[in-house]
């Protein structure tokens, strides 16, 4: 069993644990040296469909973003994948897992979703998603964000051992795509310099998508600079376990 001390150190570094011992890692990009807002937009494509309101707004306004896709989403959204691949200057495609299973190595449920439950199942979720992305894009992902964005310290260590960084965030833009449009718009528009915003791009029937579009356009109008996670310099990444 991995040491309790090592686990505690990881949790202290990456985010405080909740009552169940789970953590949601925080992540920021370097602040802008010019005084304007630098923001990283990240969107989860869990399964289901694609919110073309968001995707079209990103393309039409030349706004870069990091898209976390599951293998399930890739199978069902060929046309949207074609759009992503047609704009490599805008979109970075990263790993959201094989089947949208929380990458937690304990038997628990998170927001009603059954967790992987073991280190072996965490590995299957991470590696299965990575393999699907590499097959679809020809590029191996560097970042992983698990379903629910919650982890144990030991599952974070396992993900690092698999060669991927855990993608945290600093602003929850759409509350799992369940917030109203006005609230989502305000969350995006109020993002500060260095923030990493999380939202969803797989719920075209939810009101949150309207708020995402209005919020990101408001950010653009304020002169925000948008960056992808792949631009994050190495000295800002979470250190590897045991360092």
Cβ atoms < 10 Å from Cβ of 233: 8
pLDDT averaged over every residue in the chain: 89
pLDDT at 116: 95
User: C-alpha dihedral over 82, 216, 146, 237, to 10 degrees?
Assistant: 100
Is position 216 within any domain?
yes
Alpha-carbon distances of 115 from 44, 73, 148, 161, 185, rounded to whole Å: 18, 19, 10, 19, 31
Is position 137 within any domain?
yes
Listing DSSP states for 204-229 in one string gives TTSTHHHHHHHHHHHHHHTT-EEE-G
Is residue 105 within 8 A of residue 116, CB to CB? The reply is yes
Where residue 239 falls (left for φ over 0; alpha for ψ -120 to 50; beta otherwise) is beta
pLDDT at 18: 57
Distance CA 118, CA 24 (A): 19
Alpha-carbon distances of 27 from 13, 77, 195, 207, 239, rounded to whole Å: 11, 28, 8, 26, 13
Give residue 34's pLDDT band: very low, low, confident or very high (50, 70, 90).
confident
Q: What average pLDDT score do residues 162-176 get?
A: 96
Is position 181 within any domain?
yes
Is position 161 within any domain?
no
What is the count of structural domains for the chain?
A: 1
Q: Is the pLDDT of residue 4 over 70?
A: no
The whole-angstrom distance between residue 242's C-alpha and the CA centroid of its chain comes to: 24
Q: Which residue has the higher pLDDT, 144 or 231?
A: 144
Is position 16 within any domain?
no
The whole-angstrom distance between residue 57's C-alpha and the CA centroid of its chain comes to: 19
* Sequence-separated (6 or more) residues with CB below 8 Å from residue 9: 153
Is position 122 within any domain?
no
Segments forming the whole domain that contains residue 79 = 26-92+128-146+169-232
pLDDT at 181: 98
Q: What is the CATH number of the domain that holds 57?
A: 3.20.20.370
Is residue 131 within 8 A of residue 112, CB to CB? The reply is no
pLDDT at 103: 97
Q: What average pLDDT score do residues 211-216 get?
A: 98
pLDDT at 35: 79
Helix axis angle for 153-161 and 4-14, nearest 10°, is: 90
Is position 140 within any domain?
yes
- Calculate what percentage of the chain has a pLDDT beyond 70: 87
Where residue 131 falls (left for φ over 0; alpha for ψ -120 to 50; beta otherwise) is alpha
Give residue 2's pLDDT band: very low, low, confident or very high (50, 70, 90).
very low
Q: Is the pLDDT of residue 242 over 80?
A: no
Is position 77 within any domain?
yes
| Least trusted range by pLDDT, from 3-17, 37-51, 194-208 | 3-17
Q: Is the pLDDT of residue 101 over 90?
A: yes
Distance CA 209, CA 73 (A): 17
Is residue 169 within 8 A of residue 149, CB to CB? The reply is yes
């Amino acid at each position: 069993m991995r040491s309790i001390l090592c686990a505690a150190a990881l949790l202290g570094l990456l985010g405080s644990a909740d009552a169940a011992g789970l953590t949601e890692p925080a992540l920021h990009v370097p602040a802008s040296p010019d005084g304007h807002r630098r923001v990283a937009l990240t969107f989860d494509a869990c399964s289901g469909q694609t919110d073309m309101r968001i995707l079209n707004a990103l393309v039409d306004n030349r706004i870069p973003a990091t898209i976390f896709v599951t293998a399930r989403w890739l199978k069902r959204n060929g046309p949207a994948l074609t759009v992503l691949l047609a704009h490599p200057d805008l979109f970075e495609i990263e790993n959201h897992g094989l089947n949208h299973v929380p990458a937690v190595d304990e038997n628990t449920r998170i927001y009603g979703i059954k967790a992987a439950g073991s280190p072996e199942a965490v590995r299957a979720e991470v590696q299965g998603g990575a393999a699907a992305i590499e097959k679809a894009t020809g590029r191996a992902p560097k970042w992983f964000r698990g379903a629910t964005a919650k982890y144990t310290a030991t599952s974070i260590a396992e993900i690092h051992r698999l060669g991927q960084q855990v993608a945290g965030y600093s602003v929850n833009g759409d509350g799992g795509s369940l917030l109203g449009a006005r609230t989502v718009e305000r969350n995006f528009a109020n993002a500060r310099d260095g923030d990493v915003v999380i939202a969803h791009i797989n719920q075209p029937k939810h009101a949150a998508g309207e708020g995402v579009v209005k919020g990101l356009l408001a950010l653009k109008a304020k002169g925000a600079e948008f960056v992808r996670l792949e631009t994050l310099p190495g000295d800002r990444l979470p250190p590897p376990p045991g360092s």
